[in-house]
Amino acid sequence: MIISILLTCLFLSLEATEKKQPYIFSQKRILESFFEDLLENTTLGYVIYGQKPVELTGRTELDKTIPGTKEHYSSVKMFIGLERWNEIPANSKKNKYSFIQFSKNDCLNIIVINQQAFLKIITQNLLLFKYKFGSNFTAKDLLISLENSKNSFEDLFKEKIALLGIIFGYGVENAITYKNISSLEKILIANKPLDPPYKNPSLPKNEKEVKNQLKNSSSTKNAWAKLKEETKAEKEVAKQEVKPSEIEKISAGIGFLIQHSKDQDKEIEAIKKRQIRFETGRDDRFKEEAKESVEKIK
- Examine the pLDDT at 36 and tell me if it is beyond 70: yes
Q: What is the mean pLDDT of residues 229-253?
A: 55
* pLDDT of 1: 43
- Name the least confident of 20-29, 38-47, 286-295: 286-295
* pLDDT of 267: 55
In the chain, % of residues over pLDDT 90: 8
- Examine the pLDDT at 14 and tell me if it is beyond 80: no
With b for 16 or more beta-carbon neighbours within 10 A and e for fewer, the 255-270 pattern comes to ebbbeebeeeeeeeee
CA proximity to 169, closest of 289, 17, 76, 55: 55
Q: Are the C-beta atoms of 65 and 77 separated by less than 8 Å?
A: no
pLDDT in tens, 215-240: 665 555 666 666 667 667 676 666 55
* pLDDT of 92: 67
Q: Are the C-beta atoms of 152 and 102 separated by less than 8 Å?
A: yes
Question: Any idea what the Cα angle at residue 46 is, between residues 44 and 50, rounded to 5°?
Answer: 140
- Name the least confident of 7-21, 84-98, 107-121, 140-154: 7-21
Q: For residue 178, tell me if it sits in a domain.
A: yes
Q: For residue 42, tell me if it sits in a domain.
A: no
As to burial, measured by CB atoms within 10 angstroms (0-12 exposed, 13-18 middle, 19+ buried), residue 227 is buried
Q: Which domain holds residue 200?
A: 171-265
Choose between 215 and 80: higher pLDDT. Answer: 80
* pLDDT of 41: 86
Q: For residue 190, tell me if it sits in a domain.
A: yes
Q: What is the mean pLDDT of residues 131-155?
A: 83
The Cα–Cα gap between 212 and 184 comes to 13
CA proximity to 246, closest of 258, 228, 261, 233: 228
How many beta carbons lie within 10 A of that of residue 120, not counting itself?
Answer: 14
The pLDDT confidence band at residue 29, using thresholds 50, 70 and 90, is confident
- Examine the pLDDT at 70 and tell me if it is beyond 80: yes
Choose between 8 and 74: higher pLDDT. Answer: 74
Q: How many domains does the chain have?
A: 1
Phi-psi region of 195 (alpha: psi -120 to 50; beta: other; left: phi over 0): beta
- Examine the pLDDT at 58 and tell me if it is beyond 80: yes
CA proximity to 13, closest of 63, 86, 87, 80: 80
- Examine the pLDDT at 54 and tell me if it is beyond 90: yes
Q: For residue 228, tell me if it sits in a domain.
A: yes
Q: For residue 159, tell me if it sits in a domain.
A: no
The pLDDT confidence band at residue 120, using thresholds 50, 70 and 90, is very high
Q: For residue 180, tell me if it sits in a domain.
A: yes
- Examine the pLDDT at 144 and tell me if it is beyond 80: yes
State residue 109 phi and psi, 5-degree precision. Answer: -110, 150
* pLDDT of 247: 43
HEC secondary structure over the chain: CHHHHHHHHHHHHHHCCCCCCCCCCCHHHHHHHHHHHHHHHCCCHHHHCCCCCEEEEEEECHHHCCCCCHHHHHHHHHHHHHHHHHHCCHHHCCCCEEEEEEEECCEEEEEEEEHHHHHHHHHHCHHHHHHHHCCCCCHHHHHHHHHCCCCCHHHHCCCCHHHHHHHCCCCHHHHHHHHHHHHHHHHHHCCCCCECCCECCCCCCCHHHHHHHHHHCCCCHHHHHHHHHHHHHHHHHCCCCCCHHHHHHCCCHHHHHHHHHHHHHHHHHHHHHHHHHHHCCCCHHHHHHHHHHHHHHC
Q: For residue 211, tell me if it sits in a domain.
A: yes
Q: For residue 242, tell me if it sits in a domain.
A: yes
* pLDDT of 140: 92
